[in-house]
Amino acid sequence: MELGSDPRLVVVINSQLRQPNSYKKARVKLMEISPGVKMLYLDYQGAIVHPILVWDEDMAILIDTGFPGQFEELRAEIEKAGVSFDQLRGVILTHQDVDHIGSLPEILQERGNAVTVCAHELDQPYIQGKRPLLKDGQLENPPKGRVDMTLMDGQEMPWCGGIQVIHTPGHTPGHISLYLKNSKLLVAGDSMYSINGVIQGIHPPTTPDMEAARLSLHKYKELDLQSVVCYHGGLSHAHVHDQIVKLCEE
């Protein structure tokens, strides 16, 4: 896919959040959040995104996959964490947007049926290419791939100590967030964004259903949280529960 030549994608990238230069300078690549959980770091023309890698002795699970064209970078990040790409057994997609499903085709090409791809059923047809992507429908050759397992609100996958699914619509209808029980980490996807560790809440320009998005945030209040990763903005770990409660009151 020739991304640089696609004006629509440039619009998408430009609409994504850019971190201040101080963030880039202070960045810690492959930030280890707790044993077996790392926040990856992918830079696409200044748009920085953070897939999450979770692993134990049995398997590795990747949450979101970066922009199209970032597969080699993604693989390198995974291997730098000391995890062989061959250990990858699951991919969880928080939602259908192109910066989250970008490397899905290459992952499927490399890992075939050894990997289980999961997403919410409301975003599944878009990821599979049966419907044009809601926000990137004009892309000539959008990334797509099979979804093997649809996930529901409240469902808990037994992988890597337990991964709980929270359906958090708003940014897309099938947006999900993940709660990693061992590390008490909330992987918030694009339900919220952050800057320099401070959670900023919903990102209105990329959130078609603000009402649903606001209701989704309330689901986080029940969680016993140690830290939060926003796909755009990265890790927050200071008083994250209080930050979320405050955002819910706004």
Q: Which stretch binds Zn ion (CB under 5 A): 101-109, 136-144, 176-184, 186-194?
A: 186-194
Determine the distance from the C-alpha atom of residue 61 to the mean position of all C-alpha atoms in its chain, rounded to a whole number: 12
Q: Please report, as residue ranges, which positions from 79 to 98 form the binding site for Zn ion (by CB under 5 A).
A: 97
Draw the binding track, 135-174, toward Zn ion (x: CB under 5 A; -: no contact). ----------------------------------------
Q: Tell me the closest approach of the beta carbon of residue 213 to Zn ion, in angstroms.
A: 13
Q: Where are the alpha helices (DSSP H) in 186-239?
A: 210-218
Q: Tell me the closest approach of the beta carbon of residue 53 to Zn ion, in angstroms.
A: 17
Closer by beta carbon to Zn ion, 145 or else 233:
233
Q: Tell me the closest approach of the beta carbon of residue 203 to Zn ion, in angstroms.
A: 9
Closer by beta carbon to Zn ion, 99 or else 106:
99
Instruction: Tell which one of 6, 99, 123, 136 touches Zn ion (CB under 5 A).
Output: 99
Q: Tell me the closest approach of the beta carbon of residue 61 to Zn ion, in angstroms.
A: 19
Q: Is 170 exposed, middle or buried (0-12, 13-18, 19+ CB in 10 A)?
A: buried
Partners of 201 in the β-ladder: 193
Residue 106 makes contact with Zn ion by CB under 5 A = no
Do 47 and 13 contact (CB within 8 A), yes or no? yes
Q: Tell me the closest approach of the beta carbon of residue 16 to Zn ion, in angstroms.
A: 6
Q: Tell me the closest approach of the beta carbon of residue 187 to Zn ion, in angstroms.
A: 12
**Residues sharing a CB contact under 8 Å with residue 91, sequence separation 6 or more, in sequence order:** 61, 62, 63, 65, 104, 107, 115, 116, 117, 118
Q: Which stretch binds Zn ion (CB under 5 A): 2-10, 113-121, 188-196, 211-219?
A: 188-196
Dist. CA 214–CA 216, nearest whole Å: 5
Draw the binding track, 190-229, toward Zn ion (x: CB under 5 A; -: no contact). x---------------------------------------
Closer by beta carbon to Zn ion, 111 or else 203:
203
Dist. CA 76–CA 58, nearest whole Å: 20
Q: What are phi and psi of 197, to 5 degrees?
A: 85, -5
Determine the distance from the C-alpha atom of residue 77 to the mean position of all C-alpha atoms in its chain, rounded to a whole number: 15
Q: Tell me the closest approach of the beta carbon of residue 100 to Zn ion, in angstroms.
A: 6
Task: For residue 237, give Cα distances in angstroms to 39, 175, 183, 230, 234.
Answer: 13, 23, 12, 11, 10
Question: Which positions lie near Zn ion, rule CB under 5 A?
Answer: 97, 99, 190
